[in-house]
A and B are shown apart, each in its own frame.
Chain A
Amino acid sequence: MSKSVIEMPPKGGFSFDLCKRNEMLAKKGVSPPSFRKTGTTIVGLIFQDGVILGADTRATEGPIVCDKNCEKIHYMAPNIYCCGAGTAADTEAVTDMVSSQLQLHRYHTGRESRVVTALTLLKRHLFNYQGYVSAALVLGGVDVTGPHLHTIYPHGSTDTLPFATMGSGSLAAMAVFESKYKEGLTRDEGIKLVTEAICSGIFNDLGSGSNVDICVITKGGKEYLRNHLQPNPRTYTSSKGYSFPKKTEVLLTKITPLKEKVEIIEGGDAMEE
């Protein structure tokens, strides 16, 4: 029998025990490490046949760009995708988690996932953590009830909109949407408008940059256009190309396939009690 005191883990949410210590350290000049944010421009809009999501590809750690070409459009379900702004780890983890939950739900019900399901799962989780999970999301998809587009804020509130923008470049992108959006856009018009909005964020906001990612979701399926537009190529590349010194010479190539150790026996006896 163990003598230990039963230390129950807290039921949910974060433990704030170290906050006082952190405050004291901050006063003494020890600053916490800066975390990786996707200071971002993410947008979504509803067009004739479905939803188009767009995102830039810059991830920042304080004032430094740590990833020039990251992926901000996350998979939730075959018919639902989610763009994430805020702390990169939070958006990745939360969308991964809800994506798994949706998969299990699909097995359980035998039906295609609905956007409102993903929405409810996300908002319940974020509200539970009272805004400390710093994930601002644009969720879009097409299900049996039609195309849907929602925004989800870190504290757990949601909006249903015909066009939405989030992230530090959201005002620049929203300026483009407010002046140019109309109902019943075709696929090409929609992609053009989303690209314009993301470019507005890339060029007018310091937290966004590099390339434009697009995802078009319709009843028929989805089209993930990674790096649809690359308006920031390397300025100076050597015209002669790059030559590297001579590598180690290859003398002999021999490939030995490994034999399968596991033999699958069909049938067999039922398990005994």
Chain B
Amino acid sequence: MNFMASKQPENFLLGPESDSQRTLYPYVTGTSVVALKYKDGILMAADMGGSYGSTLRYKNVERMKPIGKHSLLGASGEISDFQEILRYLDDLILYDNMWDDGNSLGPKEVHNYLTRLMYNRRNKFNPLWNSLVLGGVKKGEKYLGTVSMIGVNFEDNHVATGFGNHLARPILRQEWHENLSFEDGVKLLEKCMRVLLYRDRSAINKLQIAKITEEGVTISQPYSLKTYWEFSAFANPAQGAVGTW
């Protein structure tokens, strides 16, 4: 009786052909990015995996890139959309340089640009499927912000995307403090990335850590974390009763 009537198209506002032009789901995705402010600037970490659904398709994806002189952008989510954002930012920096007036876009300005970009795309129901982390130092002032695919943006002393929100931010909330040294900052980031490696199925053990200070951006060579699997309860879980699991 009512079965026919309920077959209304859900997106009647958008028309029948518009589906092929909008991003509906992500295909090649990167997992979490974690970043924190330390004494001299910002430290950011991301692994180098690009997953195609449940397959680990690409293992050499650089998900952090320097932007201009003062900023560093890390992204999780759809990789092709990240590359598109990099092109937009290239144009932005180019136009800024062409003014040749001695001023350059700082991290706050780039963050604002990205927020507007993401929010406007979201309003057209065609989002760039990314969660971005933008960090930088300009004139001694450290800045660390994040923008999500629907345009939610904020800045904080430590940010994370994706699974990092659930696994890394509790650790950072407890253990972050002002004026971390470089070594302490790296140790804290590695702690977070190790937990993500254990508990996020799309994480891989090949990560880069990037540092941005007043002097500029340095992105480390890829390396892997040490993991520990020797707990005795893992070795023989059926200890108490033979035949159980």
Contacts and interface: CB of A to CB of B under 8 A. Distances in A.
B88 interface: no
Interface in A110-127: 114-116, 119-120
Contact of A145 (B169, B231, B239): B239
A200 B171 CA distance: 8
Interface stretch (A76-84, A101-109, A171-179, A254-262): A171-179
A175 B168 CA distance: 7
Q: Name A's interface SS.
A: helix
A161 interface: yes
A221 B232 CA distance: 24
Contacts of B199: 171, 174-175, 178
A203 interface: yes
Interface in B174-209: 174, 191-192, 194-195, 198-199
B179 to A, nearest CB: 22
B232 to A, nearest CB: 7
Contact of A46 (B195, B233, B241): B233
* Max count, chain B CB within 10 A of own CB: residue among A149, A160, A200, A204: A160
Interface string B197-237: 01100000000000000000000000000000001111001
B170 A172 contact: yes
Interface in B139-177: 163, 166-171, 173-174
B239 A146 contact: yes
A121 B239 CA distance: 19
Contact of B173 (A115, A161, A204): A204
Nearest to B188: A179
A213 B128 CA distance: 44
Interface residues of A, number: 29
Contacts of B173: 203-204
A253 to B, nearest CB: 56
A97 B6 CA distance: 45
Given A145-B240, A146-B240, A162-B234, A204 B169 contact: yes
* Max count, chain B CB within 10 A of own CB: residue among A119, A143, A171, A183: A171
B95 interface: no
A171 B166 contact: yes
Contacts of A114: 240-241
B95 to A, nearest CB: 41
Contacts of B233: 46, 149, 160-162
Contact of A160 (B169, B170, B238): B238
A37 interface: no
B244 interface: yes
Nearest to B230: A183
A116 B245 CA distance: 10
A-B residue pairs, 3 tightest by C-beta: A160-B237, A162-B233, A171-B166
23 contacts: A46-B233, A116-B240, A145-B239, A145-B241, A146-B239, A146-B240, A149-B233, A159-B237, A161-B233, A162-B231, A162-B234, A171-B167, A171-B170, A171-B199, A174-B167, A174-B195, A174-B199, A175-B166, A175-B192, A179-B195, A200-B170, A200-B171, A204-B173
